Structure 1
């Protein structure tokens, strides 16, 4: 009996040890905390991180990245994260103090805007300032994934091989998106490749796919600015001269200003909603970055094709 007891005890100890190892593996991702500011980047980080980390996205669906704010509890989460991923380039205007506080606390920060070839705004109040809306170009998002892969692989507790495999898979998806967007936009006649939206958000898309940005209802680089009557008149003249058949309103912003501009132009201009600043809730048309870009591509192509 004593021998049997010893064998039974050894077996239980072995099973317990294996159980403990299993628990450690299951909770490994929970131990690594990644906090992301905007929901577009949040989706990208989730695709690359996979099960290797717990990813918290601060910006809610359908929010405005220029103006959303967070609670004190979320600010503490940000400061205590293993890695904080932000857009950078001045986009998260309502979060800057929290990002500065996290940096001062020694939190590892990665700004996606540091990984891309930055374009400056060329018009409006923000002329010359860096444009933060680089996600409208999928090729630049591949650059972001490349840099993000390196950042995540360096975080303690994360398996670099898994991150590399996830990143490669997502790069394939982004390359296919870029090819599909190229095909769709190539079908638009050159004279019709003119864009107008609420504010300047299409600089990178225009650069990548040879569009002209005729203008924006809000002349600056942020939705927090406001157009004057003179701004509207000037833009109306530009739209009339360019013969733009459609202007685009962002899903995260009311289309009141765009509708007012359509009236100001005095011609038959359609107003089409795009998902440009934020992802949506599931089932609302743009729950992921890839679906957002495909929806926008289809709407732009249809809106600018006579």
Structure 2
């Protein structure tokens, strides 16, 4: 990329609309955005001078990065960007280092539906004809109006993602295709215990009523036959950082005080005074709590073990009234 092109990208990029999450729009000043793009372009130009020894891939969310690693290692150098299970991914803030990593990547896997829209701006600002971008929303054929962006909890998502990752990694060097394909088969096979656990839960506890804070795990809960009692309008309000209606709050409170639900599924990464009041009310009324996450808990988890641990926690909550507010590897 020529210097004149760098200047043109920085001057024309519309940074004011860059945001970090589904329905949440923290603003970024033009000067900072220009710095990010300039850093990205510089990194891109530097990397272009040399051929990397391995494919450089990025999983914007660490659960996607984990799948890339399982399929591509050791021939793929993988970077996960959103990794901290103790922070709200909706308020993620990009920096020049991350912009440079995206600019230099051969493959970027991102979620879509506005969940990681900041990455779209960086990708658009630094064109790279060799870079492949796997947008999970588009891979699944879902519209921009899709209300729930937490696709990784849907049992149908990761097999499709793994298949496309395999194809994208194989394209630069077809001689490695058989290796990636073999790993993809292993990955698909490794999902079977999780899928079996979901099926067993559905068979043994059909229609179990539960409350949630957000639709984080809703895809998996639906697959397990769980009856989510929390109004979706309230789930969406909490997810998007807006105030739920008083009527929805009253209904949620009644789920706990009247003991209408067996479990409270609580998003550990997005908490505020309202969700904490729900948590306290659930505990007061003896309703077990299961914590769920938007990024894969680390260290010690793979995507498969994380999902299996969530189902196991639900099963312990329903059968033994045991809470698992925080996941720990190996438990």
- TM-score where L is the length of structure 2: 0.70
Contact 1:48 1:149 in 2 (8 A): yes
Q: Distance in 2 between matches of 1:302 and 1:256?
A: 27
Question: Match for 1:202 among 217, 225, 230?
Answer: 217
Structure 1 unaligned regions, length at least 5: 1-27, 121-127
Distance in structure 1 (CA, Å) of the matches to 2:286 and 2:125: 46
Out of 82, 85, 92, the residue aligned to residue 109 of structure 2 is: 85
Quote the Cα distance in structure 1 between the aligned partners of 2:224 and 2:290. 20
Q: Does 1:219 align with 2:238?
A: no
Superposed CA deviations along residues 146-200 of structure 1, whole A, max 9, x for unmatched, are 2222122113487111110110110100123211222234222x34x22322211
Structure 1 range deviating more: 213-222 or 203-212: 213-222
Query: For the residues of structure 1 that align with 2:101 and 2:156, how far apart are their CA atoms?
Result: 31
Shift in Å, 1:265: 7.5
How far the C-alpha of 1:86 sits from its partner, in A, is 0.7
Alignment size in residue pairs: 267
Distance verdict in 2 for CA 1:85–1:54, change over 3 Å:
same
SS in structure 2 at match of 1:58: strand
Q: Return the TM-score normalized by structure 1.
A: 0.75
SS of 1:274's equivalent?
strand
- Distance change >3 Å, CA 242–CA 211, structure 1 → 2: farther
Q: Unpaired runs of 5+ in structure 2?
A: 1-50, 322-331
Cα deviations across residues 91-144 of structure 1 (Å, max 9, x unaligned)?
Answer: 224544324434x45432111222336499xxxxxxx53422121123332122
Equivalent residues of 2:282, 2:288 under 8 A apart: no
CA distance in 2, matches of 1:263, 1:222: 17
1:173 and 2:190 aligned: yes
- Please give the residue correspondences for 1:1-306 in structure 2 after superposition, counting only pairs within 5 Å: 30-62=53-85, 63-102=87-126, 104-106=127-129, 107-116=131-140, 118=142, 129-156=146-173, 159-188=176-205, 190-191=206-207, 193-215=208-230, 218-220=234-236, 223-228=239-244, 230=246, 231-237=248-254, 243-254=260-271, 256-262=273-279, 268-283=285-300, 287-305=301-319
| Aligned-residue CA RMSD (Å) | 3.2
